[in-house]
Amino acid sequence: MENYVEIKVQTMMKNGNLDAIRFNKLLTTTYNKDSIEYCFDFNRFNDCKPFTILLVAESILQFKSKHQTAKFSAKMDNMKSFSYLCHMGFFQYIGISVGKSPNESHNSKSCFPIKTISFDEMSLEEAYKEIEHHADQLALIVENNIKSDLFEVMKYSIIEMVRNSIEHSEKCQVSICGQRRNDLNTVEFAIFDRGIGIEKSMKSLRKVSNPPAGYNFLEYSLFPGISALSNIKLLDKGNSYINSGYGLFYTSEICKQFEGGFILISYNDAILVSSKNKLDKFKCYYEGTGVQVRIKTDITKSLKNIIKEINTNILPKYKNAGLVKNKPSRSSGGLKP
């Protein structure tokens, strides 16, 4: 039918994050007609990692906002197979009246359903208290012991990534979800915003004209101290939560230490960092910024020792190359590296 287009949402097991990036690119570059019906076929939406869920959802919402005269429908043959996505709030998030709404589902021992967190009318202090509250709740899916090393590491990473989003995006709302896989000994979370993006933030607010030769802006943002103080209006220089630009650096390195993975996506670029220090680059078309943090739960290291190891073995390499812009400040987790 000329006025009906079916779009398959396909994410295969163990490959969901890459498939979500491909779906984002396909949706943005292939379909451009208005005043027709687009049907999203979710029957092969098999891999439902947090990053996969949010990137697919945000890509669909972005697509719908650009084709406001089109009609949209969904194809789901066996609703029982979508119970997890219904619980996570995925369908309601994209405007389909199926399952729970974001912020409605309760957290469990294995999942943190989609939450949308708005900091619009909060003071700086209120915003950080809200960040810490959600970080506590999400970190509890690692294990129900707030004094454990894993809980501390996870909470630190969550706080740094949410802070990074609200301080750099010029937006005051983020979406977040998380998941624990006992069969894989992994825990991960994803955070997305619809802000100005990393490159524009670094150019307009940090006054970074260009990254070093051979690097794009996403890679450059992982350098220690490079993205400091991007959104000045959200910061108080006398506050101990002040961002010194080390959040992305430390969190991506923590993922390596815990044999996990780190993904950063913003506008036209995406980078995937593996535990083996391998970095892959992809093209994408997401108007905002998204991040995934994944760590292994069968590795035991304290946050203090990890930061010490990074400062001893990793940070000097950047310093010796003249790539460190400022010193690390006290982190939002209360840790002074």
How far apart CA 167 and CA 186 sit, in angstroms, is 28
Do residues 56 and 130 both lie within one domain?
no
Do residues 257 and 117 both lie within one domain?
yes
User: What is the pLDDT, as a whole number, of residue 336?
Assistant: 45
Do residues 120 and 75 both lie within one domain?
no
Q: Which of 56, 84, 101 is the last residue in one of the domains?
A: 101
User: What is the pLDDT, as a whole number, of residue 147?
Assistant: 74
210, containing H or E segment: none
Do residues 36 and 135 both lie within one domain?
no
User: What is the pLDDT, as a whole number, of residue 278?
Assistant: 84
Do residues 164 and 301 both lie within one domain?
yes
Do residues 57 and 164 both lie within one domain?
no
Do residues 35 and 143 both lie within one domain?
no
How far apart CA 276 and CA 258 sit, in angstroms, is 11
Report the CATH number at residue 153. 3.30.565.10
How far apart CA 21 and CA 18 sit, in angstroms, is 5
User: What is the pLDDT, as a whole number, of residue 115?
Assistant: 95
User: What is the pLDDT, as a whole number, of residue 148?
Assistant: 87
Structure tokens of 12?
Answer: 């295969």
Nearest alpha carbon to residue 250 among 161, 186, 139, 150: 161
User: What is the pLDDT, as a whole number, of residue 329?
Assistant: 54
How far apart CA 54 and CA 20 sit, in angstroms, is 9
Domains in the chain, number:
2
Do residues 209 and 297 both lie within one domain?
yes
Do residues 197 and 132 both lie within one domain?
yes
Do residues 4 and 146 both lie within one domain?
no
Residue ranges in the chain modelled with pLDDT below 50:
229-243, 331-337
Instruction: Tell me what percent of the chain is helix, strand and coil, each rounded to the nearest 5.
Output: 35, 25, 40
Strand partners of residue 112: 178
Do residues 274 and 321 both lie within one domain?
yes
Question: Domain of 18?
Answer: 1-101
Q: Which of 47, 68, 101 is the last residue in one of the domains?
A: 101
How far apart CA 201 and CA 210 sit, in angstroms, is 12
Q: Which of 59, 83, 101 is the last residue in one of the domains?
A: 101
Do residues 189 and 288 both lie within one domain?
yes
